[in-house]
Structure 1
Amino acid sequence: MSSPRYNDVVNKGTGVCSKTCRSRKIAAKLTRDGAKAGAVMLEWGWDPLEDYPGAGKQWSSRCIHCGAIKPKKLAHVQKGRGGCTNCAGRDVTDESARRLMRDADLEPLVDYPGSLQPWLCRCVRCDHVGTPTYAKVRTRGHQCWSCRSEKIADALRLDSEEAIASMLEKALDPLVPYPGSTELPWKARCMKCEAVLDPGPTLHNIRGAQGGCATCAERGINPAKPGYLYLVSHDGHQALKWGIANIEQRLAQHVSQDWELVARWNFDLTRDAWAFERQIKSWVRGQGIPKALTADQMKYGGHTETAYLADISLQLVQKYIEFLTGRSPEPPQEA
């Protein structure tokens, strides 16, 4: 059944059927001969591997330049949107991504996570563990926080008088000559509490916002000092949390809020622990698991490194950390 308008039939010649017949006419106009369709694909650099499936359907074809097999649509190819992503360098495999990272003196420690995701790697030049992204390394080359810090330290190198003046401004009295680098610890005495800092703070931190005396400082993390990665749980919130610190006060703060220590992993440098902390967060969030708590629920901060125990088990996270840090040779099963 159809209900055409008299005016359309007489003046426009569109016929009496506005549905089935009209659709057939449109389909007939769009129908292509298989040979002609194949010729169009070849003209644009694609060799069809099967008979023409029809307009608007995926057509398995091989790129005549690199041999990559892709599902293409004839309409897209005709409009210039059917280029080969492999030829363009946008197809990245775990193997090719690892090759690029190794060429940039970075050794991946986990599987390729995606071009814009943090990728846990070890710097071949300085042995630092960090989390650069594939996209940034591909664009800018070698990416390492530790190597970069050394370059910055060289640029900021001071003479002895300027270095001593910087220490005195922070109420620190140097007890030994200037070590010659902004990244080397400098033994000093705090002029406020008389505590002897050995190893002392680095001049890089002194000239920043971190201060110098850990005894006087209320909080803060010194990446150049020994630290630890920890895992805690909370029965009331039914949640777990991971984090890093280099002062015992940090764990004491969580314990005072009814968190229980599950495990702790010590590191010679807190900055290495930070790299693992970031990788854990990427791994948990990559499974679609959201943070469990809000800032209001965490008196001492750290709510972004939480997850509900209903979403991921405590044992699984602990096993993953053991694997990342080299304590366990086998990776855990996914959540």
Structure 2
Amino acid sequence: MTTVHLDEITPEAMAVIEARRRAPPIAGPARSRRSGDLSVPCALIQGVPARIDPDAAAAFMRENGFDPEIPYPGSGVKWPCICRTCGKLVEPRYATVKRGIGCRVCAGQAVDPAEAADLMRRRGLEPDGPFPGSVKPWKYTCVARGHTDTTTYHSVKSQGAGCRKCGQERNAAAQRLDRAEADAVMRAAGFEPTAPYVSSRAPRACICQTCKEAVHRSHDNIKQGFGCPVCARHATSERQRGVPRPGVNDWRRIMPEAAERVMRAARLEPQEPFTDSAAPWRCLCLDCGRKSKPSHHSVSSKNSRCRYCARNMPTEALVYVMEHPHMNAVKVGVCGLRPGDPRRRTRILVRRGRWRLVWQLQRDVETAYRIEAEVLRHLRDEQGLAPFLTPELMPYGGYTETFDADLITVTVLRRLVERAAVHKKSPAGR
């Protein structure tokens, strides 16, 4: 708003002002009147534009290719017209045509719902509702297969899209291998398939031609270069034991003399020949004179030492007996009672491994390890029981101390622990 003096207003503006004064009041900003001054819009000072003649507006629309269907509704109101170019019923505004904007259908900015439905049907898609817009999801039914899905008119027109599910099935059929070709790939990799081919990602039962073991390999595994897992484990074990493999990673072999030097550097004297880097190795501690079974791997890579000379070695420990109902297994073990974090081992097995603590016995550390060793020696040497679970099923360790619950019950295992606790034996004899 601009404040001007009454003498500066043109006669046409004054006529408009007088007409507004006589008109009833309307909602809007209040007009302020001061001594001799009046707040007047700038448009009135510059001159009031003349009202648009409806006939002139209709003539202007015809000059720009539109045939009006109704009389002139207003400058900014949609005006139903017939476009002479495309012959469609459109609704341009007089003000937009005045600015040089033409038919939106001819420009590709508007879509006729009937044409959109016809295009969908030509692509084999039957629309299940009215046209929602060019880029909004439009539900359809596939005429060929009866699939129900959604697409957009834009993707159907510009990208030539059809039924999405039919396209996925065609792509899958084009990429799917036949059984003969999949079998040829398996045999070339050294596997004899024993199950039909399903898909490239599905594991397939087969026999390794090298180790004659039954394994599961998928077509993608073989294409990526994966071999037999059993052969890989055997190769790793042989490499750790120092078994020579001509021409294959000779520099990785661990020789017994080198392994003994590592143990002696840690103040541990080996009491038996070296077999495996990851296997327990009976050694005599040169500091405390006690025997323990650290592995070569733990000493060389983790800087482990004698368990009795360790600085964080607890003075008390628990001998525990556990059972796992779901895996039908029992377990015996030792849990050190460290200050600030007692029973950490049993808590991990109970919470994460879903084991159930059946019974426990607290003793000093040496007695606890002696009890565990006597029980394991009785089960392995005298009864010939092997570890029941595998490292994959026991990611937190301790799988070598598990046994089949059908061969030894948790009650019998508890009695063995109680009997070993009563039996006196020198710790140095471990």
Q: TM-score range by the shorter chain?
A: 0.3 to 0.5
Q: TM-score, normalised by structure 1?
A: 0.41
Q: TM-score, normalised by structure 2?
A: 0.34
- Higher CA-based Rg: 2
